[in-house]
Chain A
Amino acid sequence: VSPRHEQLLRVPARGVSLAATGPGRVLSESARTHAGGLGGTLAVLGIILGYLFLLPWIADALDDAATPTARRTVAFPVPATPARDVTISVPEGWEVDRSRVGDEQRIHLVDEDLQVWLTVATAPPGPDQVEHALAQERRAVEETGRVRFAEPAAVRGPDGLTGRVVQYANPVTQGLIGAWGGQDRLVRVRASWAGARDGPAEAVLVLVRSLGRPA
């Protein structure tokens, strides 16, 4: 070993793990290059698939398990422009499903007293629908004189009930659907997004059995 290499060898070897190679073993470049290639790739793939599919599957399973037989939906029309409120009567023994957070097709809003979870039955609008929907909303604001949702400021409904927009899961639908909860038997929804530029769409409110109340 030349003096020069003596010096090099005093310095911790770069790129070569002493622990991995062990005393006296030579780790060839090819061995290092190919070590763990396929296994590592499969591990990365597994983690990615876990995040993409396993976690959503668990979330769905928890949803189903939470109310396996006690879930019903109330369909209601989403009016075309201009927006108007729709009051939905919640049957005795039922309440609005509060179990979902962040699902792309569920927009949730929180009233001071009641959380309202709104499921939009149609798919969220595609990017090409956004401009049209935004224009609709601007007109609705002008016509009704109502201040729409300016997150996280409180909004006030026509009957004085207040609600607060907490979070919209889907940025595309953000600002396009709103709801006011008032009395716990009535859910007042204003949903002026029309997955439809041609006319009204239909939304679905998910209800679950009330806990601690007579069904």
Chain B
Amino acid sequence: VIAPRVVETTPAWGQSDSLFEPRRSAFWLFAFLVVVGAHVVLGWVAAAFDASPAGAWLALGIWAAYLVVFVLAIAALDLLEPEPPAFLAAAALWGGLVATWVGDVANDAINTIVAHLVDPAFALRWSDAIAGPASEEVLKGLGVVVVILIAPRQVNTVLDGFVYGAMVGLSFQVVENFHKTMIAIENAIFVNVDPVGEVQNLFVERGVFGGVFSHAIWSGIVGLGVAYVVVGTRGTRATRALLAVGALLAAAGFHAVWNAPQFVAHTLDDLIARGVVIGLPALLLLAILVGFALLRDARWIDAILQSEEPLVSADERRELVTFAARHRAVWKEWRGSGWRAAARLRRRQRAQIRLAVAAARWPAGDARVVTARARVRRLRTAAP
């Protein structure tokens, strides 16, 4: 018998809360700020819909599609315990409607302060590199904090922090891009240029070359830090808080360098160079941090499923525990037995992971665990 340092009453994995929590003050703060933010942001973009309906709708369609693609990518990383759509939407609302609005007010004030403390010309030149990181990274990080305050049991792994942070950042980025597209449309009309072409140009610049490396990445790093404070198990809380501050500073640093006047991109070569020099290091840092978080999940899954043989064999456990291994197995099945078999394998993998989550959360005889086992058994014996 192992004498544990901590008795877990319930493993946090699989726990959940409702988004509608009227007894919690954070819920009302969230709701109030989102309503005000919606009013402000709609005011920003409404004019362009009047000025150029075609361009505005095209922009809306493009950025909405862009959002969907990235949400799917984030969801793929969050396979083990997917976050509920309502909470992902809440994170997106915070990023798109609250962080954008408050950041806009704060950035103006910071620019003025810098102009006084240093020099107006310096403030003009460096405003994007100073004000944006100083306000927006904090405001986006607060989105993850608010989700935790509304539903503490919802964020129960460090990876969850990444997922919510990335959602906040992605939404922020999409609304910001959409707003800038609206401005470009107004300007294009003003100087008799085709607004549709402007929309396409902005999508290439801010979506294709900037999107992969910017707000979603930076906020993902911040979200990992916030979650680590709450659910981390190493060191004291103060130590973890210091690491979270480090994550915030790293994200703000990447943001500042990205916006620095030396790296303003005007040509395709500029865009590519900026992505490689500034964007890739941020992406690599995030990949390493997410990798550590996933590794921890992998160990957890492997430990739980050891007692689920023969429903989950040792080989299958090895395939399940990493993103790459899961997809390698599916790909191998596709090549060997066709797409139907590959799809079946993918369903079985998901069912086995659900079984792991259920087994971690509830006693072995619980109906939910039994149901999860039955589903795995059914998929294992399904006709090839």
Contacts and interface: CB of A to CB of B under 8 A. Distances in A.
Interface of A: 1, 3-4, 6-21, 23-29, 32-38, 40-42, 44-45, 47-48, 51-52, 55-56, 58-59, 62-63, 66, 98-104, 108, 110, 115, 127-128, 130-131, 134, 137-138, 141, 147-148, 150-151, 166-167, 169, 171-172, 174-175
A55 B106 contact: yes
B33 A33 contact: no
Interface in B166-197: 179, 182-183, 186-187, 189-192
B350 interface: no
Nearest to A100: B112
A89 B124 CA distance: 26
Interface in B146-183: 146, 148-149, 152-153, 156-157, 179, 182-183
B124 A110 contact: yes
B233 interface: yes
A6 B145 CA distance: 33
B379 interface: no
B231 A15 contact: yes
A60 to B, nearest CB: 8
B124 A131 contact: no
Contacts of B182: 171
A47 B105 contact: no
Given A47-B142, A138-B190, 4 more contacts: A8-B360, A29-B9, A48-B142, A130-B47
A6 B1 contact: yes
Interface stretch (B113-121, B272-280, B332-340): B113-121
A41 B7 contact: no
Contacts of A102: 107-109, 111-112, 127, 131
A40 B296 contact: no
Contacts of A63: 112, 116
B153 A10 contact: no
Nearest to B98: A48
B108 A150 contact: no
A127 B50 contact: yes
B26 interface: yes
A174 B48 CA distance: 12
Contact of A58 (B7, B113, B135): B113
B246 interface: no
B22 interface: no
Contacts of B26: 37, 40-41, 44
B320 interface: no
A80 to B, nearest CB: 18
A19 B300 contact: no
B233 A12 contact: yes
Among A35, A102, A127, max chain B CB count under 10 A is at: A102
Contact of A32 (B50, B138, B149, B153): B153
Contact of B190 (A6, A115, A127, A175): A175
Contacts of B33: 48
Tell me which of B7, B13, B46, B123 has the highest count of chain A C-beta atoms within 10 A of its own C-beta: B7
Contact of B102 (A28, A48, A150, A166): A48
Contacts of A9: 2, 4, 8
Nearest to B156: A15
Interface stretch (B62-70, B71-79, B303-311): B303-311
Nearest to B180: A171
B314 interface: no
6 contacts: A1-B2, A6-B1, A9-B8, A19-B240, A41-B24, A131-B51
A38 to B, nearest CB: 6
Given A6-B2, A171-B183, A174-B187, A13 B108 contact: no
B97 to A, nearest CB: 13
Nearest to B187: A175
B75 to A, nearest CB: 20
B371 interface: no
B235 interface: yes
Contacts of B156: 14-15
B110 A55 contact: yes
B50 to A, nearest CB: 5
B322 interface: no
Nearest to A33: B152
Given A15-B11, A44-B146, A62 B303 contact: no
B10 interface: yes
A1 B108 CA distance: 59
Contact of B152 (A13, A32, A127): A32
Given A16-B8, A175-B190, A131 B149 contact: no
Given A7-B304, A7-B307, A51 B13 contact: no
A121 to B, nearest CB: 19
A145 to B, nearest CB: 13
B43 interface: yes
B200 interface: no
Nearest to B235: A19
Q: Max chain B CB contacts within 10 Å: which of A3, A51, A115, A131? A: A51
B1 A29 contact: no
B381 interface: no
Contacts of A12: 233, 296
B44 A56 contact: no
Contacts of B153: 15, 29, 32-33
